[in-house]
Amino acid sequence: MKKTILATILAMSCVAHAQTIPEKAFSATQIALEGAFDAVLVADYQQTSKIDGFCDGRVNCSIHETNPLLGDDPGRARVHNYFLTTAATHAAVSYFIDPKYRTAWQAVSLGLETAVVIHNKHIGLNFNF
């Protein structure tokens, strides 16, 4: 839990720090996109956490993790660390990328992540907020 809190603080500090540097400042749209990406990432995390044991007792069920960075059957710690790292890395890239490309980067990332969550929902993996 301490690692999660620390990583979240560090990731969000990139955005907060960017606001103090005029040429790095995030627009209101960019802040909203970063927050939306994080929200969808949390949904994906919840879905991925439910893969283990999903097929238990189900006939003809073959759901498994398809992200090659996680592997077919990732452990809980690996899933947790992957999503934590993804959130922090996305915030850092958003900070360091040229601001004129930032909105496109965030919108494409959000779109791809949303597509993953929708696909997961269609195969029966749900999430809760």
- Judged on CB neighbours under 10 Å (0-12, 13-18, 19+), 2 is exposed
The mean pLDDT of 96-119, rounded to a whole number, is: 95
Categorize the per-residue pLDDT at 118 as very low, low, confident or very high, splitting at 50, 70 and 90. Answer: very high
2-6, 27-31, 81-85, 91-95: which has the minimum mean pLDDT?
2-6
Reported residue count of the chain is 129
Give percent of the chain with pLDDT exceeding 90.
33
37 close to 90: Cβ distance less than 8 angstroms: yes
Spatial CB neighbours of 30, under 8 Å, sequence gap ≥ 6: 94, 99, 102, 103, 106
Could you tell me where the beta strands, DSSP code E, fall in 1-129? none
Band of residue 10 on the pLDDT scale cut at 50, 70, 90: low
The structure's pTM equals: 0.79
- Quick one: tokens of 25? 């400042």
